[in-house]
Amino acid sequence: MTGVAVLGATGTIGVNTLDVVRRHAEQYHIIALTAHSQYERLAVQCEEFNPDYAVMVDEAAADKLQLIFTQKGISTKVLHGAEALEKVVRLDDVDVVMAAIVGAAGLQSSLAAAQAGKKILLANKESLVMSGKLFMDQVRDHGAVLLPIDSEHNAIFQCMPSNYNQGLDEIGVHKILLTGSGGPFRELPMADFSNVTPEQAIAHPNWSMGKKISVDSATMMNKGLELIEACWLFATDLNKIEIVLHPQSIVHSMVEYIDGSIIAQLGQPDMRTPIAHALAWPDRIESGVSMLDLVSMPDLEFVEPDMERYPCLRLAKEAMQLGGTATTILNAANEIAVQAFLDKKLNFIDIAKTVEYVLEQIASRTADSIETVVDEDKRARMVANEFIETTTMKTGAMH
């Protein structure tokens, strides 16, 4: 059986991963499940899947989880702290690591999985946004297998020949067409952006996602982060990637070849498809996702994104062009700004303003070590918090 560790088991990707595993219990065994603080949800998962280890990043939550296990006679061993995440991914019994911790918090454990030579199902795009070259070097040097879980990158992976890391020019690829829905405000008058509420921003029209990634989809920062991720995953640069808005979220991405062919991957907007694909790769397994009915499918639209409407997309491109720690700074500032918006301390339009300010204040450095990346991440968060505090004092909390 294949041993699986799910990092971020209580989040959307983690829950969907366990649903796929549930359908193939004879093939996969859960070795470890981890969460930050949702101990009650993790307890239910552990009761069903009986992993060897359960990790809570939060110590108080770990104590509560242990109490539940003791009361119910669950034998799973409870660990706590960020170091425990790295410990479980390095276990000999773990063959596959689902890296689904949201944000910068997932970097160290994803990196540990690469250093342990595991098959990594990467849903934590921030690992590559923050430390692209460092991360990819670790994957190569330790013989790890890296499979993308983001629906777009998984689609590109499926449309590429296996030797894509030789360089796209060498394999006849003209460009990558990276699709995005445009989020819930694609047609909202821009004059109304200042009145957007968190409740509106997290109501994505097509996908069921966590709050942070839903806000990123609304600002299109998510597509900007995916653009950066695609550059690292497919060993290419920005001029080989075109972003195309596709409101229906049926075509998940495409690869255009120099002979005029375009190969696309289509499917329902359901994360279990890329999860099942990567989990079983190079084989295929059933995912639980309903099949597309091509006859009754809606008309498919493809339009160019408006950079004035989506300033976060422009900022992501600029950060990637700058290189070094600029993408680390971009990601950190965005995480702080999005949380402030969700906490109603910042207006929707001020998310991009915060990110732009922080990028202007901190010069990019060479990302020559993980310590440098972590230091710049902390510095960017501090500057972002200071800017938000000043902005809130001037304008008041979000109405």
Instruction: Give the pLDDT band of residue 102 (cuts 50, 70, 90).
Output: confident
Task: Looking at the structure, tell me whether residues 231 and 127 fall in a common domain.
Answer: no
Exposure of 124 by Cβ count < 10 A (0-12 exposed, 13-18 middle, 19+ buried)? buried
Q: Percent of the chain scored above 70 by pLDDT? A: 97
Same domain assignment for residues 94 and 17? yes
Same domain, 143 and 160: no
Residue 303: inside a domain: no
Pair 201, 214: CB distance under 8 Å: yes
Q: Rounded distance, CA 99 to CA 15, Å?
A: 13
pLDDT at residue 38 tops 90: yes
Say what the pLDDT of residue 105 is: 82
- CA–chain centroid gap for 322, Å, is 22
Which of 132, 149, 166 finishes a domain?
149
Structural domain boundaries enclosing 31? 2-149
pLDDT mean over 254-265:
98
User: Which pLDDT tens digit goes with each residue over 148-196?
Assistant: 999 999 999 999 998 888 889 999 999 999 999 998 899 999 999 999 9
Is 295 part of any domain?
Answer: no
Most distant CA atoms of the chain, gap in Å: 64
What is the average pLDDT score of the chain? Answer: 94
Contact 177, 261 (CB under 8 A): no
Select from 280, 314, 340 the last residue of a domain: 280
Instruction: Quote the tokens at residue 106.
Output: 């997932």
- Same domain, yes or no, for 107 and 129? yes
Specify whether 72 is located in the same domain as 162.
no
Within a domain: 306:
no
pLDDT tens sequence across 336-368: 999 999 999 999 999 999 999 999 999 999 998
Does residue 399 surpass a pLDDT of 90? Answer: no
Examine residue 313 and state whether it is found in any structural domain, yes or no: no
- Cα torsion 209, 211, 215, 216 to 10°: value is -60
Question: Last residue of some domain: 99, 118, 149?
Answer: 149
Q: How confident is the model at residue 54 (pLDDT cuts 50, 70, 90)?
A: very high
**Is 291 a domain residue?**
no
26 and 140 in a single domain? The answer is yes
- Whether the pLDDT of residue 204 is over 50: the answer is yes
Q: Tell me if 204 is assigned to some domain.
A: yes
CATH code of the domain containing 382: 1.10.1740.10
Tally of domains in the chain: 3
Contact status, residue 226 vs residue 129, Cβ threshold 8 Å: no
HSE toward the beta carbon, residue 393, CA cutoff 13 A? 6
Q: Is residue 97 part of a domain?
A: yes
